A and B are shown apart, each in its own frame.
Chain A
Amino acid sequence: MAEYEALIGMEVHAELLTESKMFCGCRNAFGGEPNSRCCPVCIGLPGALPVMNKKAVEHVIRTALALNCTITPNAKFDRKNYYYPDLPKGYQISEYDAPIGVNGWLDIEVDGKETRVRIRRVHLEEDTGKLFHVVGNVSHVDYNRSGVPLMEIVTEFPPDMTTPEQARAYLVKLRSILTYIGVSDGKMEEGSLRCEPNLSVRLRGSETFGTKTEIKNLNSFRAVYRGIQYEVGRQIAMLERGEKVVQETRGWNDAKGQTFPQRSKEEAHDYRYFPEPDLVPLQISEAWVEEIRSTMPELPDAARRRFVQQYGLPAYDADVLTQTRAAALFFEETVRQCNDPKAVSNWMMGDFARLLNAENREIGESRVTPKMLAEMILLIKDGTISGKMAKELFEKMFATGESPRKLAEAAGPQITDSGAIQAIIAKVIGEMPDVWAALCAGDEKKFGFMVGQVMKASQGKANPQEVNRLLRERMQQG
Chain B
Amino acid sequence: MAALYNLTAHELSAMLSRQEISARELTESVIARIEAVEPKVRAYLTPTHDLARQQAAEVDERRARGDSLSPLAGIPLALKDILCTRGIRTTCASKILHNFVPPYDATVVSRLREAGAVCMGKVNLDEFAMGSSTENSAFGPSGNPWDVERVPGGSSGGSSAAVAAGEAIIAIGTDTGGSIRQPASFCGIVGLKPTYGRVSRYGLVAYASSLDQAGPMTRTVLDAAMVMNVISGKDPRDSTSVDLPVPDFTQACRPDVHGVRIGVPKEFFAQGVDTAVAQCVREAIETLCELGATAEECSLPSIEYCLAAYYIIAPAEASSNLARYDGVKYGHRSREWAGHIGLMEKTRAEGFGAEVKQRIMIGTYALSAGYYDAFYKRAQQVRTLIRRDFDRAFSQYDVLLTPTAPTTAFRIGEKADDPLAMKLADVCTLPANMAGIPGLSLPCGFIEGLPVGLQIYGKPYDEETLLRVAYTYEQATDWHTRRPAL
B324 touches A44 (CB 8 A): yes
Known: A277-B210, A277-B317, A278-B240. A91 touches B323 (CB 8 A): yes
Given contacts A44-B324, A83-B326, A90-B326, contact A279 B317 (CB under 8 A): no
Which residues of chain B come closer than 8 Å to A383, judged between CB atoms? none
Knowing A85-B326, A277-B317 are in contact, say whether A46-B100 is a contact too (CB < 8 A).
Answer: yes
Tell me whether B305 is interfacial, beta carbon within 8 Å: no
**Which of B40-48, B63-71, B361-369 participates in binding chain A?**
B361-369
- Chain A 59-90, CB-CB to B under 8 Å as 1, else 0, gives 00000000000000000000101011100111
Q: In the complex, are the beta carbons of A40 and B103 less than 8 A apart? A: yes
A-chain residues with CB within 8 Å of residue B323 when the two chains form the complex: 81, 83, 89-91
Chain A residue at minimum C-beta to C-beta distance from B376: A274
Contact of A49 among B97, B100, B202 (CB under 8 A): B202
Chain A neighbourhood of B191, CB < 8 A = none
By beta carbon, the residue of chain A nearest B211 is: A277
Per a CB cutoff under 8 Å, which of B90, B329, B364, B376 touches A44?
Answer: B329
A46/B202 in contact, CB under 8 A: no
Return A55 CB to nearest CB of chain B, in Å: 16
User: Inside 8 A of B100's CB, which chain A residues have their CB?
Assistant: 46
Please classify the interface of chain A as helix (H, G, I), strand (E, B), loop, or mixed, using the class held by over half of its residues. Answer: loop
Does any Cβ of A come within 8 Å of B265's Cβ? no
Kindly state whether residue A280 has any CB partner on chain B within 8 Å.
yes
- Within the assembled complex, what's the spacing in Å between the Cα atoms of A52 and B330? 25
Residues in B whose Cβ lies below 8 Å from that of A40: 102-104
Stretch of B231-239, B276-284, B424-432 contacting A (4+ beta carbons < 8 Å): B231-239
* Residues in B whose Cβ lies below 8 Å from that of A47: 83-84, 102, 106, 201-206
Q: Check if B349 is an interface residue, CB within 8 A of chain A.
A: no
In the docked arrangement, what's the CA distance between A47 and B324, Å? 11
A45 within 8 A of B: yes
Q: Mark A112-142, 1 if CB is under 8 A from B, else 0.
A: 0000000000000000000000000001010
Those of B214-262 within 8 Å (CB) of chain A: 236-240
Other-chain residue from A43, A85, A272, A273 in contact with B364 (beta carbon distance below 8 A): A272
Chain A residue contacts of B34, Cβ below 8 A: none
Structural contact, B210 and A139, CB atoms closer than 8 A: no
* Interchain CB contact under 8 A, B204 and A51: no
A3 is an interface residue with CB less than 8 A from chain B: no
B482 within 8 A of A: no
Among candidates B209, B210, B236, B369, residue contacting A51 with C-beta atoms closer than 8 Å: B236
Kindly list chain A residues whose C-beta atoms are within 8 Å of the C-beta of B237.
Answer: 49, 51
Within 8 A of A (CB), among B274-327: 316-317, 319-320, 322-324, 326
Answer whether residue A48 sits at the interface, using C-beta atoms and an 8 A cutoff: yes
B240 CB contacts on chain A under 8 angstroms: 277-280
Would B324 and A49 count as touching, CB distance under 8 A?
no
Give min CB distance, B322 to chain A, whole Å.
8
Q: B324–A90 contact, CB under 8 A?
A: yes
CB under 8 Å from chain A, chain B span 19-67: none
B372 at the interface (CB under 8 A from A): yes
> Quick one: which of A263-302 are within 8 Å of B by CB?
270, 272-274, 277-280
For residue A50, CB closer than 8 A to chain B, the reply is yes
- Whether the Cβ atoms of B324 and A278 lie closer than 8 Å is no
Give every chain B residue within 8 A of A280 (Cβ-Cβ).
239-240
Residues on B with C-beta less than 8 A from A44 are: 324, 329
Q: Report B-chain residues with C-beta under 8 Å of the C-beta of A46.
A: 84, 90, 92, 97, 100, 102, 205-206, 324
Complex-state Cα separation, A84 to B368, whole angstroms: 18
Say whether B354 faces chain A, with CB atoms less than 8 Å apart: no
> Within 8 Å CB of B236, what residues of A?
51
The answer to whether A278 touches B209 (Cβ under 8 A) is yes
Q: How large is the interface on A (under 10, 10 to 19, 20 to 34, 35 or more residues)?
A: 20 to 34
Q: Is the interface of B mostly helix, strand, loop or mixed?
A: loop
Query: What is the chain A residue whose CB lies nearest that of B104?
Result: A40
Determine the distance from Cα of A84 to Cα of B204 in the docked complex, in whole angstroms: 24
Residues of chain A within 8 A (CB-CB) of B204 are 47
When distances are taken between beta carbons in the complex, the residues of chain A under 8 Å from B83 are: 47
Does B341 sit at the interface, judged by CB under 8 A?
yes
Bound: A46/B328 CA distance, A: 13
Are the C-beta atoms of B344 and A81 separated by less than 8 Å?
no
Given the interface pairs A47-B84, A280-B240, the reply to whether A272 lies near B320 with Cβ below 8 Å is: yes
Q: How far is the CA of A91 from the CA of B316 in the complex (A)?
A: 13
Q: Interface digits, A28-48 against B, CB 8 Å rule (1 contact, 0 not)?
A: 000000000000100111111
Q: Which residues of B contact A43 (CB under 8 A)?
A: 329
Cα distance A280–B324 in the bound complex, in angstroms: 22
Given the contacts A40-B104, A81-B323, A139-B340, A274 and B367 also touching, CB distance less than 8 Å: yes
Of chain B, the residue at the smallest CB distance from A272 is B367
What is the CB-to-nearest-CB distance from A140 to chain B, in angstroms, rounded to a whole number?
A: 11
Residues of A within 8 A of B369 (CB): 270, 272
Q: In chain A, what residue has the closest Cβ to B203?
A: A47
Asked if A272 and B368 make an inter-chain contact with CB atoms under 8 angstroms apart, the answer reads yes
Task: Give CA–CA (A83, B320) in the complex, Å.
Answer: 10
B320 touches A274 (CB 8 A): yes
Q: B324 contacts which chain A residues (CB < 8 A)? A: 44, 46, 88-90
In the complex formed, the residue of A with least CB distance to B212 is A277
Give the interface centre of A44, A90, A141 by most chain B CB atoms within 10 Å: A90
* B326 and A81 contacting across the interface, CB-CB below 8 Å: no
Q: How far is the CB of B255 from chain A (nearest CB, A)?
A: 38
Chain B positions 170-210 with a Cβ under 8 Å from a chain A Cβ? 201-206, 208-210
What 0/1 pattern do residues 348 to 389 of B give for CB contact below 8 A with A?
000000000000000010011100100010000000000000
Shortest CB distance B91–A (Å): 10
Residue of B nearest to A41 (CB): B237
B78 to chain A, nearest CB (A): 18
**Complex CA–CA separation, A270 to B365 (angstroms):** 11
Q: Which of A46, A52, A273 has the most CB of B within 10 A?
A: A46
Chain A, residue nearest B197 (CB): A280
A89 to chain B: which residues have CB within 8 Å?
323-324
Chain B residues with CB below 8 A from A83, complex form: 323, 326, 341, 344
Cα of A309 to Cα of B202 in the assembled complex, Å: 57
- Nearest-CB residue, chain A, relative to B345: A83
A residues near B364, Cβ cutoff 8 Å: 272
Bound CA span A52–B329, Å: 24
CB distance from A458 to the nearest CB of B (A): 69
Q: What string of 1s and 0s marks CB contacts (under 8 Å) between A362-405 and chain B?
A: 00000000000000000000000000000000000000000000
Chain B residue contacts of A277, Cβ below 8 A: 208-210, 240, 317
Residue of chain A at shortest CB distance from B235: A49
Tell me, rounded to whole Å, the shortest Cβ–Cβ distance linking B220 to chain A: 29
Cβ–Cβ < 8 Å partners of A79 in chain B:
320
CA distance A89 to B319 in the complex (A): 11
Separation of A90 and B256 alpha carbons in the complex (Å): 51
CA of A85 to CA of B345 in the docked complex: distance in angstroms?
12
How distant is B157 from chain A, measured CB to nearest CB, in Å? 20
Q: Which residues of A contact B372 (CB under 8 A)?
A: 272-274
Among B104, B106, B239, the one with the most A-chain Cβ atoms within 10 Å of its Cβ is B239
Task: Tell whether, in the assembled complex, residue B202 and residue A81 are in contact, meaning their CB atoms are under 8 Å apart.
Answer: no
Q: Are B326 and A48 in contact (CB under 8 A)?
A: no
Chain A residue nearest in CB terms to B201:
A49
A172 to chain B, nearest CB (A): 36
- Measured between alpha carbons, how far is A280 from B209 in the docked complex, in Å? 12
Distance of A221 Cα from B137 Cα, bound (Å):
56
A49 B239 Cβ-Cβ under 8 A: yes
Query: Which residues of chain B are near A91, meaning CB under 8 Å?
Result: 320, 323
Q: Are A279 and B239 in contact (CB under 8 A)?
A: yes
Report the minimal beta-carbon distance from A135 to chain B, rounded to whole angstroms: 15
Q: Would you mind naming 16 contact pairs between A and B with Cβ atoms under 8 Å apart?
A: A40-B104, A45-B102, A47-B106, A47-B202, A51-B237, A51-B238, A83-B323, A83-B344, A85-B326, A90-B323, A90-B324, A139-B340, A272-B364, A272-B368, A274-B372, A280-B239
The 4 A-B residue pairs with the shortest CB-CB distance in the complex, in nearest-first order: A90-B323, A272-B367, A277-B209, A277-B210
**A-B contact sample (8 more), CB < 8 A, given A47-B202, A84-B340:** A45-B103, A46-B90, A47-B201, A85-B326, A141-B328, A270-B369, A272-B367, A274-B367
A positions within 8 Å CB-CB of B: 40, 43-52, 79, 81, 83-85, 88-91, 139, 141, 270, 272-274, 277-280
